[in-house]
Structure 1
Amino acid sequence: MRTVLVTGPGGSGRTTVAAATALAEARRGRRTLLLSGEAGGILGTGVGTGPRPVTDGLWAARTDPGAHFRSELLAFQERGGALLDLLGARRLEDEELTELPGSEQSALLRALRDAAAGEWDVLVVDLPPVPDAIALLGLPEQLRRYLRRLVPPERQAARALRPVLAQLAGVPMPAQWLYDTAARWEGELAAVQGLIEDRSTTVRLVAEPGPAGEDALCTARLGLALYGMDVDTLVANRVLPVASPDPWLAGLQAQQDKALRRWHEEWAQTAAVREAPHLGRDPRGLDDLAALDLPVGPPAAREPWGVAEGPAGDEGTLVWQLPLPGAVKEELHLVRRGDELVLTAGPFRRIVPLPAALRRCTVSGAGLTDGVLGVRFTPDPALWPRTR
């Protein structure tokens, strides 16, 4: 299955581009699902929480954070009913529940997991604006890390000893439902993370040509690279006609043209740049979306985070090469914590597990060259096998 994640600055037309992309793929004979929280108006039809047919080859589904939050909380309350009754807690009812911050992200992750299990040729996902989208894409990895720390899976092996341990420790041991819930969450998060990290999953960035769009693209490019995401297409949205007798429109067109030339030059090596024309109105309905004609291109060539031997004159070292286009040296920070590297790039932070070979090394330096961060490691003699 090919998965296309659509994001961009707020107000750039992400939902329109996502819908146009899904329709273009459906019209090329591919079974396509559009996942969006607000595409119904643009498609010109009602969209439910489950996949509903829109036209030949195209289905659409809407995420519902409120319903997802209520079902999850009520299910968790039911599983922990014995403890709540012991504490004398009053049960919450469906009618009194309203979603909390974070419900939208949780609902979208669940919808991604469900969509991944379907028999689709193409999945197009309308993501939130860039900063929230990057945080969402990194969420499964972060939550799995927290789960492993807070509820270690290896502790489940000692569940038969919990009554004895409870008597020795004088405190109750975690109930089995806690481990079962953690295992269920781990499985669901692993499925979503697998979809996000799959080589056939790419990002389609949307922005209006101009200074504001350029700044947002620089931030997006860095954040996506930090999480290893590939941008296959940059969609320049609402591009004005080339010539206009109106001086005001001519000035805007000239500003757009300047940005477009720069985008074609800067992105030529890594992603296609497509121009979506301004229709003179807000697109609505399948005919308007078809006029944009935004099919999916081939997946981008992914630059792996590889480990290489150190350069000549620096024998014995290993270099972990991390492509971070747009990174600024002054805004990069590295901290090693055990077998993990805490990497901060601009406003983004990711905790990355070290490759096996580097866990037996110490960090000896780092450098940024042509958008690639190279972290140097020196083998620790106390950990590497000795040769005679």
Structure 2
Amino acid sequence: MRTLLITGPGGAGRTTVAAVTSVAAARAGRRVLLLSGDPGDPLAALVGPDVRGLRVARIDSGEEFRAELVALQERGATLLGMLGSRPLAAEELTELPGAEQFALLRALRRAAVAPDTDLVVVDMPPLHQTVTTLALPAQLRRYLARLLPAERQAARALRPVLAQLAGVPMPARWLYEAAARWDEELAAVQAVVEAPTTEVRLVAEPGPGAHLALRTGRLGLALHQLPAGSLVANRTLPQDCADPWLAGLAAQQEKYAAQWADELPVVPLPHLGRDPEGPEDTALLAASAPGLAPAAAAPRPAWDVEDRRAGDGVLVWAIPLPGARKADLDLVRRGDELLLAAGPYRRIVPLPSALRRCTVSGAALADGVLRVRFTPDPQLWPRAR
């Protein structure tokens, strides 16, 4: 099963492209599940009820938030009772900021095991929010490992004894059990996000504003090793416009679409002269862009370590960051981890085992690849006999 995450700068037409992609795939014989968290369910209006093989589902973040918080209260009922707390009822709960991201991630996990489905298409939030959402499972797992390390549970054999003496379960036990459960759930979501069958499809209307937003967003995707497989150039104008103003705009679109095509497969989607309003417009767009059907999944970008000890005496870690500029980047070695900053995005990654025995001796950016040089530490590196 394939998962296609559709995102782009705000106002680029992500929802329309998600609907058109789903209709095109369903008409090609695939069983498609189309997901969206937008209020008002605009996808249902665009797709209509009569596309065979296509199911549309809406992610209700408010309902998910209420259900999760009520379940959390039930699991911690003993501890909350000790504190004299009064549980909150589901009907008095209002979702907090961030609930949409967690609901979306849980929906991705469920969709990955949906029966009778060949393709899951997800109408994602705008590009910047999509990057931060997809990076969330790995980041939260790292936080849990640091704040509640598994090795600290070595003394848990004493907790049942303490619980009997106190007469109630010890909070530490409840906390570690909750952390283990959260880590398991986050690991399952992370596996879906990083699966070779999951791909990001970008949507943008060709122009200077979208060009800048795409450069920044692709930098964030690359930093988290999330492959962007294709780009839909939405609302493209015909190149034979008689009107000088439209002809100039069409030429500008062609210029930026050509630049994007140097880095990604670009699928043009024509402008209808109006906003798509219903199933007829969606079907018309699907027929005009056969390239929307998902092809082979893009490979996850590899971060390779090159051994140059024989020549330069160093190891080089090559990190692909397409579109990056030197001013965008920063890196700091911290123990066995490397803190990487690329534009507004940050990622802390564990060093490969060989690089942990080295010191960082330099870095250079060329052709969209950051190459970090590591010099073996004589005190740690095995000596040749």
- The TM-score with structure 1 as length reference comes to 0.90
Q: In structure 2, what is the Cα distance between the partners aligned to 1:32 and 1:160?
A: 49
Aligned partner (choices 281, 289, 314) of residue 288 of structure 1: 281
Residue 10 of structure 2 is matched in structure 1 by: 10
- Tell me the residue number matched to 2:307: 309
Unaligned stretches of 5+ residues in structure 1: 48-52
> Secondary structure of 1:55's partner?
coil
Residue 372 of structure 1: aligned partner: 369
Q: Once the 2 structures are TM-superposed, how far is the Cα of residue 311 of structure 1 from its aligned partner?
A: 7.2
Report whether the alignment pairs 1:107 with 2:107.
no
Greater displacement, 88-97 / 306-315: 306-315
1:270-349, aligned counterparts within 5 Å? 271-293=264-286, 294-310=292-308, 313-315=311-313, 317-349=314-346
Check the 8 A contact 2:47/2:278 in 1, yes or no: no
Query: Are the aligned partners of 1:43 and 1:284 in contact in 2 as well (CA < 8 Å)?
Result: no
Equivalent position SS for 2:128: helix
Aligned residue for 1:202?
A: 199
For 2:51, the aligned partner's letter is T
Matched, 1:40 2:41: yes
Change (3 A) 1:383 1:44: same
Provide the secondary structure at the position in 1 that maps to 2:26: helix
Q: Distance between the aligned counterparts of 2:215 and 2:76, measured in 1?
A: 46
The one-letter code of the counterpart of 2:284 is: A
* 1:9 aligned counterpart, secondary structure: coil
| Distance apart, 1:4 and its partner CA | 1.0
Describe the superposition over 1:13-33 as per-residue Cα deviations: whole angstroms up to 9, x where unpaired: 011111111121111111111
Alpha-carbon distance, 1:149 to partner: 1.4
- More displaced 10-residue stretch of structure 1: 7-16 or 294-303: 294-303
Query: Secondary structure at the residue paired with 1:250?
Result: helix
For the residue of structure 1 that corresponds to 2:360, the secondary structure is strand
Hey, what's the Cα distance between the residues in 1 that align with 2:310 and 2:276? 57
Q: Confirm whether residue 89 of structure 1 aligns to residue 70 of structure 2.
A: no
Evaluate the alpha carbon distance shift between residue 322 and residue 272 of structure 1 in structure 2; reply closer, same or farther with a 3 A threshold: same
CA distance in 1, matches of 2:154, 2:129: 38
Is 2:17 the counterpart of 1:21? no
Q: For 1:100-131, what per-residue CA distance to the aligned partner results, in whole angstroms no more than 9, with x for missing partners?
A: 10000010011011111223211111111111
Aligned runs of 1:37-76 on 2, under 5 Å? 37-38=37-38, 40-44=41-45, 55-76=51-72
Whether the aligned pair in 1 keeps the contact of 2:196 and 2:299 (CA below 8 Å) is no
How many angstroms does 1:335 deviate by?
0.7
Tell me if the contact between 2:317 and 2:372 (Cα under 8 Å) persists in the aligned partners.
yes
CA deviation after TM superposition for structure 1 residue 365, in Å: 1.2
Q: Contact 2:5–2:122 at 8 Å: present in 1 too?
A: yes
- The 10-residue stretch of structure 1 (96-105 or 72-81) with the greater mean CA deviation from structure 2: 72-81
Unaligned stretches of 5+ in structure 2?
287-291
1:376-387 equivalences under 5 Å are 376-387=373-384
SS of 1:198 mapped into structure 2: coil
In 1, the alpha carbon distance for the partners of 2:242 and 2:305 equals 56
Give the secondary-structure state (helix, strand or coil) at the position aligned to 1:334.
Answer: strand
Partner of 1:50: none
What is the alpha-carbon distance in structure 2 between the residues aligned to residue 260 and residue 376 of structure 1? 35
C-alpha separation between the residues in 2 aligned to 1:244 and 1:382? 70
TM-score (norm 2): 0.91
Q: Is 1:244–2:241 an aligned residue pair? A: yes
Q: Which residue of 1 aligns with 2:350?
A: 353
Query: Deviation string for 1:186-206 (max 9, x for gaps)?
Result: 111111111111122111100
Give the root-mean-square deviation of aligned CA atoms: 2.3
SS in 1 for 2:378: coil
Cα contact 2:61–2:103 (8 A) shared by 1: yes
1:12 partner letter: A
Which letter maps to 1:96? Answer: E
**Is the 8 Å Cα contact of residues 23 and 58 (structure 1) preserved in structure 2?**
yes
Percent of paired sites with the same residue: 62
Pairing 1:123–2:120 present: yes
CA contact (8 A) 1:166 1:173 kept: yes
Tell me how far 1:136 sits from its aligned partner.
0.5
Counterpart-to-counterpart distance in 1, 2:139 and 2:352? 17
Task: Describe the shift of the 1:24–1:311 C-alpha distance in structure 2 as closer, same or farther (beyond 3 A).
Answer: farther
- For residues 225 and 213 of structure 1, do their structure 2 counterparts lie closer, same or farther at Cα, with a shift above 3 Å needed? same
- Deviation string 1:35-84 (CA, Å, 9 cap, x unpaired) is 1123833432799xxxxx86311112111111111111111111111121
Using the TM superposition, name which of 213-222 and 279-288 deviates more: 279-288
| Partner-residue secondary structure (3-state), 2:324 | coil
C-alpha displacement at 1:8, in angstroms? Answer: 0.3
Greater CA drift, 145-154 or 272-281: 145-154
Q: Distance in 1 between matches of 2:73 and 2:194?
A: 32
1:265-291 CA-to-partner distances (Å, cap 9, x unmatched) read x32xxx210000111222233332222
Counterpart for residue 224 of structure 2: 227
**1:338-373 Cα shifts (integer Å, max 9, x gaps):** 111100011111111111221222211111111111
CA contact (8 A) 1:43 1:286 kept: no
Letter in 2 for 1:44: A
Query: Aligned partner of 1:288: which letter?
Result: D
Which residue of structure 1 lines up, in the alignment, with residue 31 of structure 2?
31
Change over 3 Å in CA distance of 1:311–1:260 after alignment to 2: farther
Measure the CA separation in 1 of the matches of 2:174 and 2:59.
28
How far apart are 1:166 and its partner, in Å?
9.0
Aligned to 2:214: 217
Aligned residue pair count:
375
Relative to structure 1, the CA distance from residue 13 to residue 164 in structure 2 (aligned partners, 3 Å threshold; closer, same or farther) is same
Q: Which moved more, 1:10-19 or 1:155-164?
A: 155-164
